[in-house]
Amino acid sequence: MLALRIAACVLSVISAVNCGGLRAAPYYMPLDNNGQDFDFSQIIKQTGVKQFIMAFPLATDDGKCIPTWDGKANLKIADDTVVLGKVKQIRASGGDVSVSFGGYNGVELGHVCGDVNALVNAYQIVIDKYSLTNVDFDIEGDDLGDVQGETLRAKAIKILKDNAKAKGKDLFVTLTLPSTTVGLSELGRAEIKRTLDLGAHIDLYKIMAFDYGGPGADQVNSVITIMEDVHKQLKQLRPDLNEQQVYASTGLILMNGHTDQPSELYTVDTFRKLIDYANQKKLGRVSYWALNRDRQCTGPVGWVNGTCSSITQQPWEFTKTLANFH
């Protein structure tokens, strides 16, 4: 496994695709959806997955340019000790973390930090707090198509990367975008274009291949079709990358069990087959939403639930399956 990774890194240096990004990495809400109780030394031992994407640093819900967990004014990241404890536990078990700014709910910092310096400072607080070399920007909902926010964010990304370089480090930056039945939406493509125009290098484009209204019965083929559509779109947007490099710069994000869409269903077998696809194409990352949901519901199920999958499953079954992504 380690030898494989080293080989992939050597190859990626030759092919100019950045290495150092997380590989098999579920999203995890540390302070919401019962994530507070998770013991990562156990989770890592039981699942084999060691990398996690923590969600979501946001501006305060009332719009202050202060990074908080989940938009809560009483969870300022500068003052955090609880999440830092989780990060240390994960690293002590040989793992690593990224954080994901944004998400569907709440106020993205780029929307309220009025100028680039203020925005860079806000993101940098989070990067320094957790000694991050990986960050994700999950741009969806009303942030997608917010031209001013996208412009500030792209300029900030460029500066954050330069700040890391000045300290002899690399900051691996990923952009998470929703999908439609025909791949990326026009707004998603415009956001990618904007980062390119403003010189903000994105190392990995991560596609939310769920919540697009996919058919439960043929979820596997439907997701592959979307990912191949995205592949064609990315090839046009990034003519500097060859076929292989475009795949290596693409990440697949799934959601376990029931999603927000009544038509969709992702079983363990769906995950297995889509991870086969990701291995075959040598994608850059596979993630899923979310570690907090990787267990069977115990109480009233509801259609979709932040703390469980709403289907019959074993504990950590989806995470164990994700460990098959190499």
Reply yes or no: is the peptide bond before residue 38 cis, omega within 30 of 0.
Answer: no
Contact set for ligand NAG, span 296-325 (CB under 6 A): 297-300, 302, 305, 307-308
CB of 306 to ligand NAG, least distance (A): 7
CB 179 within 8 A of CB 208: yes
Catalytic residue among 108, 140, 191, 264: 140
User: What is the nearest approach in angstroms of ligand NAG to the Cβ of residue 138?
Assistant: 23
Q: How far is it, in rounded angstroms, from Cα 317 to Cα 315?
A: 5
Q: Does 77 bind ligand NAG (CB under 6 A)?
A: no
- 95 vs 187: CA distance, rounded Å: 34
Q: Least distance from C-beta 295 to ligand NAG, angstroms? A: 9
Rounded Cα gap, residues 233 and 25, in angstroms: 24
Q: How many residues sit in the footprint of ligand NAG (CB under 6 A)?
A: 8
Query: From the CB of 32, what's the least distance to ligand NAG, in Å?
Result: 13
Rounded least distance, CB 70 to ligand NAG, Å: 17
ω into 290 cis (within 30 of 0): yes
The number of helices, as runs of H, and strands, as runs of E, in the chain is 11, 12
Sign for the CA dihedral angle at 130, 136, 140, 144 comes to positive
| SS3 category, 280 | helix
| Least separation in angstroms between CB 309 and ligand NAG | 10
Q: Indicate the helix (H) or strand (E) that contains 243.
A: helix 243-248
Task: Point out which span in 80-88, 143-151, 168-176, 293-301 binds ligand NAG (CB under 6 A).
Answer: 293-301
Euclidean distance between CA atoms 26 and 28, whole angstroms: 6
Alpha-helical (H) ranges within 15-146 are 40-47, 82-92, 109-112, 116-129
Q: Give 94 or 300: the residue with its C-beta nearer to ligand NAG.
A: 300
Query: What span, in angstroms and rounded, lies between the C-alpha atoms of 25 and 144?
Result: 24
Tokens standing for 193? 């274009």
Residue nearest to ligand NAG (CB): 302
In the numeric block, which tokens belong to residue 194? 């904007």
* Rounded CA separation 326/324 (Å): 6
Shortest distance in whole angstroms from residue 318 CB to ligand NAG = 16
Indicate if 140 belongs to the active site: yes
Beta carbons of 12 and 19 less than 8 angstroms apart:
yes
Q: What angle do CA 17, 208, 12 make, to 5 degrees?
A: 10
Beta carbon nearer to ligand NAG, 181 or 303? 303
For the annotated catalytic residues, the residue numbers are 140
Q: Which residues bind ligand NAG (CB under 6 A)?
A: 297-300, 302, 305, 307-308
